[in-house]
Amino acid sequence: MSTAFSHTKNRYPRYCSTNSEMMNRFIPPLPDEDKAQLQLLQVTVIMRHGSRTPYTTENCWEGYSTQWDCADTMTTFMKPAPDVRETAKLGFLFEKKYDAGRNALNGSCLKGQLIDEGIQQQSLNGRILRSAYITTNNTNQRLFESTQYGQIPYTTAVRFRADDEQRTLASGQILLSNLFDKPEINDVIMPVITADYSRDVLSPKIEMCPALEEISKEAYSSKEYHQILNNNANKDLMKVFSNKTLRWRNPDGDLIDCLMTTYCSDQQDRMPDALFTGGTASKENGVTDNDGSLFSHLFSFFVWKKSFHLTYNDAKYSKIIMGPLLAEINELLRLSRHCTDMKDVLDMNLTRLHLISGHDSTLMPIMASWNVWDGQWAPYASMLIIESYSVLEKSYSSNATHVFRLLYNGQVITFKFPGCVNSSQLCDLDVFLNVVEPYAARGRDCSTKFKNEDSLAMPLFLSLKWAILFTIGACLVGSVATYFAFCRIHSKKLVYFMVDGRTNV
C-alpha cells in the first residue's frame, strides 16, 4: 500500500495529516517575556490515533473492495506478575499477524488497525514533544533532564493512558518510543493504563448511559437541526444518495470512515468518479478542503450531521460523556497547583507527562465541552495539549500563581477557553479548574429527565389531567341530560295547554 506522505500537501485534505501538514504542528516556544518567569510542571497530551484501516466496509459504495495489507506489525510484550517470574521464562517477543485468510478487509490487516501512515504520524508526534519538553534550550520548559526513560527518577512521572484497541495502544507506543531514546537495558517496563473496552471512558458506549441517548435524540429532533438538514442545499446534496449517483450502499452509513480511510491511504482510484465532480477537484489531482467538489461538500455535511449533538444545548452531551476522563485530568492538574518548582514535583512524585491515546470521539467532545472546538473533524494523530506552569516571579503580569497554555495541533488556543483573555497565550490555571470542575466527575449522571426531574411531577400531572377530563365529561353528560329532561317537561306542559285550553302554561 503506497503512502500518502510521498505526495504534496495541496492534494490532500487537512484531516489526512500528511507529513507537510504535520510539520506545522510543532509546539511554539513561550513568548520571550514569559520564558524566565515560568516553570513548566506538567503536560497533558490528549491525542487521536494515527491513520488506520476502515472499521466498516458494508456501508460504503457498491463495488467497494480494497486489499489492506499491514507490512509492519506491532510487537506487544506482557510481563508476568512478580510472584510468577521465577517460574515463567521470558525469552520471546511475539508478533500478531492477521493473515489467516478470513479477514474482513481482504488482506493481513485488522479492521481499524494502524497503518504505515499512522506509524509515521506518531513518530513525528514523538519528536515534536521531545523537542518541546526534553531537548529544548529553555531549561524552565524541560519536563525531563534525560532522554532515557530508564533514568526518570520515579515510575509515575509518565502516565500512559489508552483504551484497549490496537490503533490507540500502538500509537502511544510509537510516540513514546520517539520521545525517549532506545533503552540502554532490555528490561524497561512502561505501564499502560487501560480498561475493558466496552466500559472505557476514552470510547464510551452511548447505550450505557440513558441520559446520553436522551440528549442525542433531543438534539436530532430539534428545530435547529431540522432547519439546517432540510435547507435546499442539503436536500440537493442528499439526492446523490437517493438517485444512486454515488452507488452508495446505505445513506446512513459512515461516509466519513469510508472517505478518510480510502482517500488518506492514496486509494482514490477505487472511489466513485462522481465524488470528484465540481470545483477544482479531479480524480488525478485529488481534492482539498472546501474546493467545491462533491467530495468536499459531502464530507462537511456529514461532519456537521454526525457531530451536531456534541455542541447542542451548551455541549451537555459532551460534558457528560467525557466527565470521567476530565476528572482524571483535573485531579492531576490540581496536584500541580501545589508545586512551585521541579523540586516540589520530585518530592510529590507528580506525573509530569500525562499521555492519553484516544480517538476523534475523545478529542472532539472534550474540545466541545470547553467551547474551543472549531467544528472540524479531528485529523489523524491530532494532539490537544495542556501545559501547567508555576509563576516564579511576582512581577509577572498576572496575579496568578499558576497558569496554563492550551494548544491544538501546534496552534495556541488558550484565548478560546471561557474566561481567558484574548491577547494572552497563558491563563490562570484556576480558571481552567473551576470551569471544568462542575462536570468532571468519575461517575456519570446518566439519569434521564423522566426518571429524574419529572418522575414525581408526572403522576400528579396525569391525575390532574384526568380530573379535568372527567369534570368536563361530567358537565357535558349533565348538560345533555338536563336538556332532554327539560324537553320532556316542556312537551307535557304543551299537551296540558292544548287539552285544558288555557292560555298560560
Q: Of 412, 439, 466, which marks where a domain is finished? A: 439
The pLDDT of residue 345 is above 50 = yes
- Tell me: do 385 and 476 sit in the same domain: no
| 64-90 b/e (C-beta count within 10 Å ≥ 16 → b) | bebebbbeebbeeeeeeeeeeeeeeee
Helical spans, DSSP H, in 322-443: 323-336, 342-348, 360-369, 429-436
pLDDT at 33: 83
User: Is 261 inside a domain boundary?
Assistant: no
Residues 392 and 468 in one domain: no
Say if residue 397 is in the same domain as residue 466.
Answer: no
Which range has the top average pLDDT, 40-54, 242-256, 257-271? 40-54
- Mean per-residue pLDDT over the chain, rounded: 83
Predicted confidence band of residue 346 (pLDDT cuts 50, 70, 90): very high
In this structure, is residue 108 part of a structural domain?
yes
**Within this chain, do residues 418 and 462 fall inside the same structural domain, yes or no?**
no
Using a pLDDT cut of 90, give the percent of the chain over it: 51
The per-residue pLDDT for range 419-460, each reduced to its tens digit, is: 998 778 999 999 999 999 999 998 888 888 754 443 333 443
Residue 339 pLDDT more than 50?
yes
**Are 391 and 478 part of one and the same domain?**
no
Instruction: Answer whether residue 373 is part of any domain.
Output: yes
Highest mean pLDDT out of 5-14, 94-103, 344-353? 344-353
What is the model's pTM?
A: 0.84
Residue 228 belongs to a domain: no
Q: Domains in the chain: how many in total?
A: 2
Cα 96 from Cα 175, distance rounded (Å) = 20
Residues 371 and 481 in one domain: no
In a domain, residue 307? The reply is no
Q: Are residues 161 and 69 in the same domain?
A: yes
Answer yes or no: is 272 within a domain: no
Flag whether pLDDT at 320 surpasses 90: yes
3-state helix, strand, coil in the chain (%, to 5): 45, 10, 45
Q: CA torsion angle for 106, 108, 111, 116 (degrees, to 10)? A: -120
Q: Same domain, yes or no, for 153 and 178?
A: yes
Q: What angle do CA 285, 286, 291 make, to 5 degrees?
A: 110
Same-domain status, 462 and 331: no
Do 46 and 174 belong together in one domain? yes
141 and 101 belong to one structural domain: yes
Strands 192-193 and 158-162: parallel
Q: List the domain range (segments joined by +) for residue 169.
A: 4-10+33-205+318-439
Same domain, yes or no, for 92 and 167? yes
